[in-house]
Structure 1
């Protein structure tokens, strides 16, 4: 409990405080504190109700770069390429035999009919053994013959099952709809962007419906495997529901560590409360602005909470120190606001810039993430820079915590009495240690850069790298690869021709040449095209003689074969051919090699009559996405660093101080890319924002340390003294939040979602290294870049100082009350 003397000092400090002091914003806020609290309360109630409307969903169209030429080509021809974008592949396997089993076929038919009726299915292009579009073609002595694969008179009898077996052999669907071992078959399900009622396709609901059908029809005899973008997103959404547990864990960890540091329950709860209010406001604003969360932006609320905890801890620490010196809580809150608002505002603006530059990336899901994160940072300016100091001006901190803070500062009043950690950090303001630190940082930067040159764009693993290797989805994908000889990755080349001339010999000759070339590329399993069909049909029409396996320059023959060809190989007006390339995987190397080859071929063979265009199919879309991500990766860093440097220059008014703050960030970015190489993480939609976020969040640490260091240096303190006082005021909180937040995100390693685990590792790494850079490399660079300021001697005359010669002055905190204006002069 406060002593009477301490209480009198507090009251005297409040009575002697000039409420007209400070800038206009401070007076506007603190002289009208009840109104500020009322407005914040109303905003919290309103946005809390709006937050209940937030939705978690995804959109295929938002995952692709709609402005890229490949995607423009795909979207322009999308109606004629249905099924080459967002589609599901459902493999139905017979555990105890082959597909020529009456019970198996009955189950396949029922399942196919149920899937046909699901919302969002593009029913006209759905394909299975039971759909009429699945046909066989044969050459007979009377000419060409054909029909649906399932016989018209099928009744499950041995005779019709034998006829079905013959039809499958003639259908060219083995390896496509039918597995090579003929123990399973595919239900191919193209999806629409919107359901029949005009609503966006709900991937979570679709995934739940598919799982219900799997549970209903999977048995000891039947096994079901499902792959495709929609199922992957559905699994991500299901797994991300567990993120609430990780979010709650992060709150408990950060709150527990903060309480252990302050030993003040009320101030700890206020910091956590204001950070959670910021998250609530963010979630309430998103539906108001027409946004929703998706699996890639669902982690943004935690980042907002983490940033809020960092800034809130700084404000709380400053107020606690001032109260410990004897100030009234209102005076302490105003002085802390006055001292740290600019640094906090600059840091949050840097965070906002780090998020906002993501808007330059032409992928809507990343742009939505940028909007969501920018909104969160914007509300932090109110909740943690304004609301928190005002709340603390009413509630203050516990007297015991304030006195404890004062005793720790008094115990470190001289160099010999400082805590050993402060003495260790102070070594980096001296020539020897500063030189070693800078040289070591330079070596790490060079080594990290050399390693980062091997950083890959796109996925580095088969299946869905966003999910664990042992997840149900990736196990299903592995089954598809084994049973059908290729993955579900399809790359489609579009060939535009004059209307009615897609079967022209010279055009088919070019398609045939490209077809043969692509078959030889690594990662290509097989191809299919109208030219290849003509080769096969000519063999069939020539009694199966392989010497006729050639594209004949006989236009009448080509026209006849084309007329009976499946419509998926060309469109209704015969102005667009499609060359299908089936891949073994969608790894970055596979897609890059394929795209480069087709581009070279197109450049050499495109004419006014024929144009080879990229790209459709899920692999083609991913290839375009990789190109956009690769280009955006460097541009994004250029813009975020440019904006952060500009803000630092405005704040510090010193290019030297700006360099001290930026270099540690650059080192962290380089090392983060090297870590991604070491961990086998590629740069893609899920990981692209991490480095930009790391820069935006990391500058917070450097800004708080450098701002206070410059204040004390400009008052005439030596670098050693200024750095020590910066550590006492803001540096130790930088250390606290850096370690605490790293512990909070590293728990994501236990998430069932692999990309969340990857994000946790990368963010924890950047939290720690940005903290280390701000506490070690920043003062080392300051030794070489920041000249010592002249200080007054005992007679009041200024004398030159240097890093080696300046004698540190370690003022003891004054318990007696000073006027607020005098305190502002010595603090600001």
Structure 2
């Protein structure tokens, strides 16, 4: 008596107690459906940054003193081109007050013309005079507006708080991480909704327009665009249903894999909620992928059952045989998917790690729903046979043509073409950029309201919304010594002459302006005084809330305003900062990167670049290990992995050609493409390896694999590609980019599995002198009818 394996025990136990197992699935589905309804959207700022990166440690260390990158900027504009009228100042004050009282806003850092800290200073006969730009007794009369205009010019805030052409004025602030009312993390999406409803909709009317940018608003707009995912989900279900029905010509066999895949999505969402995770706008796309992966494996199961029924087995026996045949190859394929997703945990960015957890949970659920639940449900169907064409022989001529890919002549041509494509792809992949390659918020289209607001603010004001703060750390009262400020001043001068830097400001540059003011405004005195008392006098005029120094003057940022946040600009500026800091810094004066939005982008780009190669090594290492365990063959592993690697390289070349940078949103696609793409090869080779062990030659083995798995592999590859291709029409730019790359990888990985894989196998397995495969005509043909 042969030894009963754990898989035999599992099979017997499950099918012997079918009803009980189905009741367990039903109970689990009801519970997790309830849990799924409790899931929340979570888009915290800190999830989007690599917290352990050295730049971000500097950013977090000094965030309380100088604010962070999580800012909000609201530009209030008068469409007539002149802000000096009562209507505009009423709207500006309304926006200032409304923003000030929204929970989560750091009220100390709210800055506008109406802020008490927005002051002017002028040189008068007795020295300096000054006060708030908008006096306490301000009235929007002609005389009052004239006074404010004069104060604005004296304050030197044109281009920063007021637009260059006096058509707009700015209200800005930093946001807190904790909502002071609830004591919990700030709900970024709720905050974005308040900005839209309580600020823009309330004050944008007649001649007043309101333009809002900042991380919170961007995430809110992304979340709004992500609602379209539901529409794409519905379209994908419809497309999938048509494709599966075209494959099996059975309504019941069409519905079951779709239902089981939807159950996997419900379980995934329920498990996330149970574990305390939420969904962010990026990971909200993952349930779609889980559904698509589930259907692809479901089609394999249906394909196997149909063939078993066509051979004369009952529905129950066919389902049990299919369960036995697909549990290991299907399980290995899904395990490869899971491990592929888990490799994303190597990237030290919260949003990617949560995506990895979300995707891994979803695929793990598919193992249960599509490899266990689906055959159990199928076993209850009454599938009847008819004397008609067998499903596996719908297009027999195609299989015999394709089987020639596994013969030496065609295989040689295929491998030569694959080598040329790989060389082409490898060459162009070297030019792939790390980071964003376009202006504006990269997650949104250029035509979006958010990016149009960004372009307006960049155009209207002298400062850029893309800025980076280089933090200068030294000892207390260091700013009172000329040698220290002189080093900072020389550093600033070098940065201002770097291509891509629009302007820069620091305590040193402001101290020079103040020093000139003490000397009748003579530009010859715009220098750093070597006299300590004069230097202290100049610095005393710069308040700590200016963001240029802390309370004891031991930290002094140099703020660099950049022309854009393109990857090449950021890299050039970061390299220049590192070079200048190494030459000018010393033990008592350290230049540290970085704060500000561009500082966060620089850290993120470096984290993505650092994770790229290890992630690929992890995912391919996992795939290789699982293939070795499953097939116990180096040759089989090479046959599966090499086509995957070629397609990955071509995908990187495609990114270069389409001007898509390697970012937080596109990096996971590479792992996703490899993890899902391996499924095709595993299913094809699982049949081939059995036939080869039975003594068939490689061409016969491949023909049998095509007959058994070919239809399902082609249908699932096309279905997956069509499903994600609907993302091309998304309101989200990053979803469009992901859709392009996933469509390419799903389709080309499928083609590589049925073309390149057999060509490689032809040269790895010895050529056996067996008769060429003959086209057998079955005596009785069957068709499955639901």
TM value normalised by structure 2: 0.96
Change (3 A) 1:396 1:727: farther
Q: 4+ residue runs of structure 1 moved beyond 4 angstroms?
A: 18-22, 809-817
Give the structure 1 partner of residue 761 of structure 2: 782
Q: Give the counterpart of 1:519 among 496, 500, 507.
A: 496
Give the structure 2 partner of residue 173 of structure 1: 157
TM-superposed CA distance for 1:816, in Å, is 12
Q: Give the counterpart of 1:183 among 158, 167, 172.
A: 167
Change (3 A) 1:390 1:141: same
Matching of residue 509 in structure 1 with residue 486 in structure 2: yes
Change (3 A) 1:332 1:495: same
Q: Give the counterpart of 1:607 among 562, 576, 586.
A: 586
TM-superposed CA distance for 1:432, in Å, is 1.3
Q: After superposition, where does 1:215-614 map in structure 2 within 5 Å?
A: 215-395=201-381, 397-399=383-385, 404=388, 407-409=390-392, 419-567=396-544, 568-614=547-593
Give the secondary-structure state (helix, strand or coil) at the position aligned to 2:558.
Answer: strand
Cα deviation code 1:65-115 (max 9, x no counterpart): 000001011111111122x32011110011114222222111100111011
Q: Give the counterpart of 2:720 among 722, 726, 741.
A: 741
Q: After superposition, where does 1:692-731 map in structure 2 within 5 Å?
A: 692-731=671-710
Give the structure 2 partner of residue 771 of structure 1: 750
27-36 or 105-114: which moved more?
Answer: 27-36
Cα deviation code 1:578-635 (max 9, x no counterpart): 1111111111011111111111122223322111111000111111110001111111
Separation in 2, partners of 1:326, 1:815: 10
TM-superposed CA distance for 1:407, in Å, is 2.8
List alignment gaps of at least 5 residues for structure 1. Answer: 1-17, 413-417, 789-800, 818-828
Matching of residue 808 in structure 1 with residue 767 in structure 2: no
Separation in 2, partners of 1:596, 1:690: 29
597-606 or 584-593: which moved more?
Answer: 597-606
TM-superposed CA distance for 1:424, in Å, is 2.5
TM-superposed CA distance for 1:814, in Å, is 8.2
TM-superposed CA distance for 1:22, in Å, is 6.7
1:193/1:201 contact within 8 Å kept? yes
Change (3 A) 1:33 1:426: same
TM-superposed CA distance for 1:541, in Å, is 2.1
Give the secondary-structure state (helix, strand or coil) at the position aligned to 1:343.
Answer: helix
Give the structure 2 partner of residue 798 of structure 1: none
Separation in 2, partners of 1:223, 1:398: 68
Change (3 A) 1:420 1:503: farther
Matching of residue 626 in structure 1 with residue 611 in structure 2: no
2:81/2:165 contact within 8 Å kept? no
TM-superposed CA distance for 1:544, in Å, is 2.5
TM-superposed CA distance for 1:542, in Å, is 2.1
TM-superposed CA distance for 1:543, in Å, is 2.1
Give the structure 1 partner of residue 179 of structure 2: 195
Q: Give the counterpart of 1:105 among 67, 75, 89.
A: 89
List alignment gaps of at least 5 residues for structure 2. Answer: none
TM-superposed CA distance for 1:57, in Å, is 2.8
Give the structure 1 partner of residue 66 of structure 2: 81
Cα deviation code 1:514-539 (max 9, x no counterpart): 11111111221111100000121222
Give the secondary-structure state (helix, strand or coil) at the position aligned to 2:379.
Answer: helix
Change (3 A) 1:37 1:422: same
Q: Give the counterpart of 1:56 among 28, 41, 58.
A: 41
Give the secondary-structure state (helix, strand or coil) at the position aligned to 1:211.
Answer: helix
Change (3 A) 1:162 1:20: closer
Change (3 A) 1:59 1:397: farther
Cα deviation code 1:359-398 (max 9, x no counterpart): 0100011000000111101111100111111111112545
Separation in 2, partners of 1:814, 1:277: 40
TM value normalised by structure 1: 0.91
Q: Give the counterpart of 1:66 among 38, 51, 56.
A: 51
Change (3 A) 1:512 1:638: same
Separation in 1, partners of 2:350, 2:212: 26
Give the structure 1 partner of residue 13 of structure 2: 28
Q: Give the counterpart of 2:135 among 137, 151, 172.
A: 151
Separation in 2, partners of 1:104, 1:808: 84
2:110/2:172 contact within 8 Å kept? yes
Separation in 2, partners of 1:396, 1:351: 33
Give the structure 2 partner of residue 47 of structure 1: 32
The count of aligned residue pairs is 776
Give the secondary-structure state (helix, strand or coil) at the position aligned to 1:23.
Answer: helix
Cα deviation code 1:428-477 (max 9, x no counterpart): 11111100110101110111111111111111011012111111011111
Cα deviation code 1:658-701 (max 9, x no counterpart): 10100111011011111111111111111110000000000000
Separation in 2, partners of 1:336, 1:743: 27
2:477/2:552 contact within 8 Å kept? yes
